[in-house]
Amino acid sequence: MPTYEVPTQRNIKIITCVDCVHSQSCCGCSMAMLTALLAVVAALLALYGWATRHHRYWARRGVPCSPPLPLLGHYRDFVLQRRDLGGLTRDLCRQHPQAPALGALLATEPVLIVQDPALLRLITTEYFYHFSARELADYTHQEVLTRSLFFTAGDAWRVLRQNMTPLFTSSKMRNMFPLVKRCTYVFEKMLDEEIAKSPLQEVGSLAYRFTMDSICACAFGIESNVMGEDPEKNPFTKIGDDILVFPKWRGLKLAIRAAWPSFFYGMGLKLFPTSIDEFFRSMLQRVCIERGGAPSPRQDYVDLLLSLRNNNGIRGDSLDNIKDPAIKIRLNLEAEEELLVSQAIVLFAAGYETTSRTMSFLLYELAKNPDIQEKVLAEVDAYLSTRGEVQFDVTTALPYLAQCVDETLRLYPVFAVLTREVASPVRLPLGGRGAGARGVGCCWSAGCACTSPCFTYTRIPTTSPSPSGSAPSGSPRGAQEHPLAHVLPLRRGTQALHWQAVRAAAAAGGAGDGAEVVPRVPRAPRAPRGPRGPRAPAAPAPLRMKPVSLTQQAEGGVPLVFTRRTGWRGRAFREMGAA
């Protein structure tokens, strides 16, 4: 081999290969490059192995599952914020229409999608102990808001739930009703003013101004005045957005947290800005001081908070008592400020967001179906003609409107999917491989996720009682017969009370304003005239759901055109006078 002397600064001679010098590399460099290349390939293979380690997870358990993508699993379009979770889950279900449940991967992690209502019922009732957690139970302590009743799990959830349920009794609803009623009058006034400015209104924002003021009055005894001037500048509007509006970066955080919570919290990330906690902490402090630190006759959330704090703890039963009636464990949770603030935030958010979305979807459906709208208006007119004002019986005395609310909830469930997490190991009757006498085929360990797409029960013909679902049928229904009642036991109990809260707000809102103005759907822009033939007929503007949000939100809101009714007030009150 020809050799070449390489001069060095210290005049040390290194004998090396001539070919290497000419090609300006050497065996050592090549080795380093090769090692680096191998390391990259090994890292990629390891990443691939990690990203696909659950690809056979569902096949091994005999649960149907379409082939997933590496890393993004079945939820690529959700993670990339191209598609809403409800729509995506519905498409996955359509791939296995006959399966009671199907497997999927949320990014790299297994999720069971339950599409058989009977199975969901089992999960939420008989198997409740095993599925008592909602999601990411091991991480609920990471943020103030995730310590709330909605997110928390285990004993903390049970104790909180026992202490907060009394807030929703019928007598509490009755006590609070004058506050809601007052808000309906402000709502009417606000509606008049806004419609005078423009008949085209985004109903979602009108509705949330009403529900935000109502929940703040009912739960905290304060006037948030979101229905006043400049709602954009109102601090409650801002805080509501901080909780529930998910722009791109926050949407990505939501997806990462759902898929890889340990990485998410390990990086020090948070889903909810801490400004929310500060806002509610100081608001509650202020109201507590105003009440002199003692519960008032209002019996709202602030009073509950004060009595829990004064009792020096939150007492309740352990979740284990559900598993075995012989167990009678009593617990005492510390009434920490953070825990109490957290419940206030969830009452605020759950109170205004759910009801305002439902109201806006209800008005959208009524606008699309003028004949149904006519019937609702006739019912409201008849009600007002006898009562002269909105009274507490508005929640029960308007059966057709109540049916429309139910139907709206069926068509636009506030949460596109219900989430559950396995809290203790369980075998589910999925009828897969190894199924026993009861068809028990799938064993699960704690931490596994389970989702149930509400849309699937309500809109897929095999499970839905009325799949086309545009109009309520003629016969009135009771609260227990809500179309989702058989599948949505709302984390054990309080279902009827829950609907009562929903109905109270929606019916009061509906009766308060629905009588004076008529909403209709603005026409979508007409298709341009083609070279031959006329323009396509204008269709009502369809709603598209936002790809990332906690609740179902229409992209661009729900714009409707409001038209003033003529003479309704005269008609209603003349009839009352005649009676």
Could you list the residues that contact ligand HEM (CB under 6 A)? 149-150, 161, 215, 346-347, 350-351, 354-355, 358, 409, 414-415, 418, 490-491, 498, 501-502
**DSSP label of 523:** B
Cβ count within 10 A of residue 433 = 12
Burial class (CB in 10 A: 0-12, 13-18, 19+), 462: exposed
Smallest gap from Cβ 403 to ligand HEM, in A, equals 15
Residue closer to ligand HEM by CB (options 16, 175) is: 175
Q: Minimum CB separation from ligand HEM for residue 527, in Å?
A: 36
If the CB atoms of residues 68 and 351 are measured against ligand HEM, the closer one turns out to be 351
Q: Phi/psi at 82 (nearest 5 deg)?
A: -105, -20
51 near 70, Cβ under 8 Å?
A: yes
Q: Which is nearer to ligand HEM, 83 or 491 (CB)?
A: 491
Give the residue with the Cβ less far from ligand HEM, 384 or 448. Answer: 448
Phi/psi zone of residue 491: left (φ > 0), alpha (ψ -120 to 50 degrees), beta?
left
What three-state secondary structure class fits 188? Answer: helix
Q: Which contiguous run of DSSP H or E holds residue 571?
A: helix 568-578
| Dihedral Cα 498, 500, 501, 504, nearest 10 deg | 160
Q: Where do the DSSP E strands lie in 274-425?
A: 314-317, 330-333, 417-421
Q: Tell me the closest approach of the beta carbon of residue 174 to ligand HEM, in angstroms.
A: 15
Cβ nearer to ligand HEM, comparing 234 with 356: 356
Q: Please, are residues 307 and 314 in contact by the beta-carbon 8 Å criterion?
A: no
Q: Give least dist CB 411 to ligand HEM, A.
A: 12
| Between 377 and 418, CB nearer to ligand HEM | 418
Kindly state the DSSP code that residue 522 receives in the 8-state scheme.
P
Sheet architecture: strand order including 200-202 = 200-202, 559-564, 517-520
CB 309 within 8 A of CB 335: yes
Smallest distance, ligand HEM to C-beta of residue 329, A: 19
Instruction: Tell me the closest approach of the beta carbon of residue 490 to ligand HEM, in angstroms.
Output: 4
Residues in the chain: 579
Bridge partners for 176 per DSSP: none
Q: Which is nearer to ligand HEM, 51 or 302 (CB)?
A: 302
Return the structure tokens found at 272.
Answer: 């909810």
Q: How far is the CB of 455 from ligand HEM (least distance, A)?
A: 13
Report the distance separating Cα 160 and Cα 491, nearest Å: 13
In the bound state with ligand HEM, the residue whose beta carbon lies nearer, of 65 and 215, is 215
Rounded to the nearest whole angstrom, what is the least distance from the CB of residue 76 to ligand HEM in the complex? 26
